[in-house]
Amino acid sequence: MPRWFSELNEEEINFTKKFILASGSIKELAETYSTSYPTIRKRLDKLIQKIQVNERKENDTVVKLINQLEEEGKIDQEIAKTVVLEYSKSLNCLIVD
């Protein structure tokens, strides 16, 4: 299973499943959720962004190094998560600016 998929919560997984079962039709998904097309589009955009961020993290050399250090027991798992999170936040700020 890809790492980005394991980062999704239950609601996001269900949304993805329904999206696939609707053959990618946002209009059909809006009917399923009894909401508007723009609401579903916004939700889909957030999911896409979350996947893209996770893909970047997977391919980032700094994140790979931190994960390797954690796997080797050289740093604590919580510290590794905190460093990756803060590093990712700083990258997001650089990308937005």
pLDDT for residue 46 is more than 60: yes
Going from the C-alpha of 2 to that of each of 6, 30, 51, 95, the distances in angstroms are 7, 27, 10, 24
Are 16 and 51 within 8 A, CB to CB? no
pLDDT of residue 18: 96
pLDDT of residue 44: 94
pLDDT for residue 94 is more than 60: no
Which structure tokens are listed for 12? 């996001």
Are 54 and 3 within 8 A, CB to CB? yes
pLDDT of residue 92: 62
